[in-house]
Each structure stands twice: as structure tokens, then as C-alpha cells.
Amino acid sequence: MKNIIVYTIPNCYYCKKVKKFLAEKNVKFRDVDVKSNKTFAKEMIIKSGQKNVPVLDIEGEIIFRIDSDTGESLINKIKEKLK
């Protein structure tokens, strides 16, 4: 099983979509709320160079959504990393 951290904020549409996808696939992950924990927010920025969420850390491989990305594209990136 891969070690997965999902950096999120509570009201983020894409964060919810990613977490729902992982749950539907029975993939265990650690959900980290960067809005309420500044230490995790800094950790996310250092790992990814991003301030936007969601950011996933799949055993050290970072995946993040960029503004031109769609939710489906993000899910496809995650599927590739989970193989």
C-alpha cells in the first residue's frame, strides 16, 4: 500500500473530488487541512512549490492541480501514480 498525503482545505471542490475518488477506490490516505494548520501549509509549499490545493504526495511523488487542469485530468494523474 502506498503512503498518500492529501493536502486540502475544507471547501475546495477539487479536494473533495480527489478524496471521494480515493475513498471509492478504497485507497487509504491522510487528509491534511492546510487552512487550519500552517505547519502543514508550509510543508505542502516546500514539497510542491504550490499554494493551491489539492496537492498529493504519493510516496514522495507530488501531484497538484494547476488552473488549466480539469478534475478528470487530476484524477487520471493520480491513477497513474497509484499503479
Q: DSSP letter string over 13-62?
A: HHHHHHHHHHHHTT---EEEETTT-HHHHHHHHHHHS--SS-EEEETTEE
Give pLDDT tens digits for 34-70. Answer: 999 999 999 999 999 989 999 999 889 898 865 555 5
- Specify the CATH number of the domain 4-82: 3.40.30.10
Confidence of residue 72 (pLDDT cuts 50, 70, 90): low
For 69-76, what is the mean pLDDT? Answer: 65
What's the average model confidence in pLDDT over 62-79? 68
Res 11: pLDDT: 94
* The pLDDT of residue 25: 83
